[in-house]
Amino acid sequence: MKKAIIGKKLGMTQVFTANGAVVPVTVVEAGPIVVIAKKTAEKDGYESLVVAFGNVKENKLSKPKLGTFKKINVQPKKIIKEFKLEGSYDVGAEIKCDIFNEAEKVDVSGTTRGRGFSGVIVRHNFRRNRMSHGAGPIHREVGSTGSSSHVARVFKGKKLPGQYGHENVTIQNLEIVKVDVERNILLIKGCVPGPKGSIVIVKEAVKGGKN
């Protein structure tokens, strides 16, 4: 990929365009991220950049991680990721949100809010049974899960109740409405995965990303 950055979702708001239209946007604190290491083909078998985001207290990190930051004289960070970015970046260099432009298309990845154990209506959008008399107390149950005694088992992949949410989701082709370099803020049109305060990754769009 050519460019990517780690950010924190701050919430949603709305902005007005030049012609007076209202655009819902997600506010993302994008970077700055710091390059803390470089992977090379000679040593590691591939090339990538190890970047970090989000200041954290020293007592929150293990000694090996803390030593990595002290070695390059960088304030300890909470989030560490690897990106295969184009361009030459030295260890200690900062990557800011100005790598993106307004009206550019991006893909945003994040972890959705965990919903716990949920039934099939919430988890898979099933329809409930009729609420009339005689239907019995099974209005929100899953219903039939298979055939008779010939198979005598439930096939794998059957939509059943279970854990819902807390999974990595990527929304593609979102438009950047505004880039605020001074405050490290990106205004992205529409919604992005995750609750307020969650970590997201903004990267160039893999499909239809041309301005």
Q: What is the DSSP string of the chain?
A: ---EEEEEEEEEEEEE-TTS-EEEEEEEEE--EEEEEEE-HHHHSS-EEEEEEEE--GGGS-HHHHHHHHHTT---EEEEEEE--SS---TT-EE-GGGS-TT-EEEEEEEPPP-EEE-HHHHH-PPPPP-STTS-S-TTS----S-STTT-SPPTT---SEEE---EEEEEEEEEEEEETTTTEEEEES--SS-TT-EEEEEE-SSS---
Would you kindly state where each structural domain of the chain is located, as residue ranges? Answer: 4-115+163-204
pLDDT-derived band at 201 (thresholds 50, 70, 90) equals very high
pLDDT-derived band at 13 (thresholds 50, 70, 90) equals very high
CATH of domain 4-115+163-204: 2.40.30.10
Q: For the segment 157-167, what is each residue's pLDDT rounded down to a tens digit?
A: 899 999 999 99
Give this prediction's pTM: 0.80
pLDDT-derived band at 89 (thresholds 50, 70, 90) equals confident
Whether 210 has a pLDDT exceeding 70, the answer reads no
- Return all residues near 42 (Cβ < 8 A) that are at least 6 apart: none
104, HSE (Cβ side, Cα atoms, 13 Å): 20
Whether 169 has a pLDDT exceeding 90, the answer reads yes
Whether 211 has a pLDDT exceeding 60, the answer reads no
Q: What is the mean pLDDT of residues 40-47?
A: 86
Q: For the segment 60-85, what is each residue's pLDDT rounded down to a tens digit?
A: 888 888 888 888 888 888 888 998 88
pLDDT-derived band at 6 (thresholds 50, 70, 90) equals very high
Q: What is the mean pLDDT of residues 20-40?
A: 89
